[in-house]
Amino acid sequence: MAGSPPMNGRAPLRRKLPSPLRGGAGGGGLFATSRRRSEPPTRLRCAPPPSPQGGGSARPAAIRLGLALALIVLPLPALAQTDNAIHGRLELQDAGQFSGPDSLQAALGAQNANDALGNLRITWQPTWGAWSAMVHYEVSAQYGPGVALAHLQSGLIPEPPSTWFNLTNTFVNHGQLIAQQTIDRLAVTYTTPSLVVRVGRQALTWGSGLVFRPMDLFDPFSPSATDTEFKPGVDMLYVQRLFADGSDLQLIVAPRPDHVGGAPTLESSSAAAHLQTTILGHQTTWLLARDHGDWVAALGVNGAVAGATWNIELVPTFLHGGGARVSALANISDAVTLAGHNATVFGEYFHNGFGVSGGPFALTTLPPELLDRLARGQLFNTHRNYLAGGLTLEVNPLLTASPTLIAGLDDGSAFFLVAASYSLADNATLIAGAQAPIGRRGTEFGGLPIAPGGRTLLAPPAQIYLQLRRYF
């Protein structure tokens, strides 16, 4: 059912605009982050450079990683009623980025960069009666100048913990090479026809946005993400009650610390109630949440007109320090035939209630409530009004092409994205794409000064990439 966390953790295809922050290679605007897990595999989260002794935190992290796997995996074979197979995905990627001479990347010696990355995810989801488990192990390695660049850029906007337990271990971190392993899913579920209870690390997606997702509070993908098959896992308790009329109520609690290794705090954690029900023939969504100390409410309505599907969302946030910010989204999509080919076309408007208007602006002059959400990865854009449009065209049964244009209505800048996917076999896919910012200096996609009057710009780079995915 829509809104519930999928057991396989997959999400619809979204794309992410390149980011110059913390080594981001695909960001949804100027501030799309290279967060711990919410990034596409073009970037890994770079840990602090190792100490001369090789770093002291890798061994405890590895021990925690092994204990977590053992606690879930060892008891299950005796309980499972069926032989549940292990599956996975191997992805290889090569990406090139190209920045302007006034960009932060150029100032740090990486105006143009080419990075290679490998990512292996192993998944096991056994079931036994009303019980099931979910274990996803992931190991990634990246080589290229983007790794060193991420070290230099780290701390530009400090990133708070996005979930409770740190189950990531960086076992290589030297020069242009970084390698990490993590447990991205670790949960147990009890299911009946009218109730779902899941505890542990899991994925959750709310909202009906096609490019922007103001209702999604938990590690949303940036608008230009190049890989969103698996949404980042979050440590939480999830309860879903299903009703006979098709309605469902979801309750979640996601504890978080305010710093890595700390105890969860009320001001860093989230709790929410999410209701979906039909009113006057339209599916409606209602949300009330306490998120990082703020109160968030939301109302969503969707319907159909002339064969097309439309969605509207209104998301007010009441800040703990006083005041309110209201974000909004409206989109429409339709399946059509273009020159004899099947296609899906869409248009979407997004109002960012935390964004700025007018100008000129610099990184150091952005409002603190906007910077907080940029750091947490809940927002990826700095201005207020955006319009996105695009399509997915089936060129032939094996090849699809997906161009998208995101326009900033406040400053006239834009971002163009195009991706093509070719099915090599039933279990292998080749993906190629390109992304390009369009805008003058001082605009969001043209480049935002780091400080007022400064010459160095925080500017999203252009990029091209090639991905090979193999499933087993």
What's the confidence (pLDDT) of residue 110? 84
Query: Could you read off the pLDDT of 323-354 as tens digits, one per residue?
Result: 999 999 999 999 999 999 999 999 999 999 99
Query: For the chain, what is the domain count?
Result: 1
The answer, yes or no, to whether residue 41 has pLDDT greater than 70, is: no
Asked whether residue 429 is assigned to any structural domain, the reply reads: yes
Q: Look at residue 64 and tell me whether its pLDDT is greater than 80.
A: no
Asked, for residue 16, whether it belongs to a domain, the answer is no
| pLDDT score for 60 | 53
pLDDT band at 355 (very low <50, low <70, confident <90, very high): very high
Q: CA 224 to CA 16: how far, in whole Å?
A: 2
Residue 159: pLDDT band (50, 70, 90) is confident
70 located within any domain: yes
Estimate to the nearest angstrom the gap between the alpha carbon of 130 and the chain centroid.
30
| pLDDT band at 459; cut points 50, 70, 90 | confident
Closest CA to 99 of 84, 114, 82: 114
pLDDT at residue 330 in the model: 98
Q: Within a 13 Å sphere around the CA of 80, how many CA atoms are in the beta-carbon half?
A: 18
| DSSP per-residue string spanning 219-287 | SPPPTB-S--SSPPPEEEEEEEEE-TTS-EEEEEEE--BSSTT--B-TTT-EEEEEEEEEETTEEEEEE
Query: Do the domain assignments include residue 6?
Result: no
What is the C-alpha separation between 161 and 469, in angstroms, rounded?
29
For residues 164-181, average pLDDT: 94
Q: Note down the domain range covering 148.
A: 21-471
Give the number of residues written for the chain.
Answer: 472
> Does residue 367 have a pLDDT over 80?
yes
**According to the model, what pLDDT value does residue 71 have?**
53
Tell me, yes or no, whether 59 lies in a domain: yes
Tens digit of each residue's pLDDT (9 = 90 or more) over 178-190? 999 999 999 999 9
Residue 162 domain flag:
yes
The reply to whether 12 falls in a domain is no
CA distances in angstroms from 406 to 90, 160, 347, 390, 403, listed in the order given:
30, 28, 10, 9, 10
- Residue with the bigger pLDDT between 72 and 109: it is 109
At 297, is the secondary structure helix, strand, or coil?
Answer: strand
Find the CATH number of the domain harbouring 125: 2.40.160.10
Count of beta carbons in the 10 Å neighbourhood of residue 267: 12
Full DSSP string of 309-345: EEEEEEEEEE-TTS-EEEEEEEEEEEEEEETTEEEEE
- Indicate the pLDDT class of residue 55, thresholds 50, 70 and 90: very low
Local confidence band at 32 (pLDDT 50, 70, 90 cut-offs): low
Q: How far apart are CA 255 and CA 251, in angstroms?
A: 13
Confidence of residue 73 (pLDDT cuts 50, 70, 90): very low
Q: What is the pLDDT of residues 228-280, one digit of tens each?
A: 899 999 999 999 999 999 999 999 999 999 988 889 999 999 999 999 999 99
Report the distance separating Cα 229 and Cα 33, nearest Å: 18
What pTM was computed for the model?
0.84
- The whole-number pLDDT of residue 228 equals 87
Q: What is the pLDDT of residue 62?
A: 47
Q: Quick one: CA dihedral 184, 188, 191, 195, positive or negative?
A: negative
CA dihedral 40, 41, 47, 50 (to 10 degrees): -170
Identity of the highest mean pLDDT range in 2-11, 114-123, 217-226, 442-451? 114-123
9 falls within a domain: no
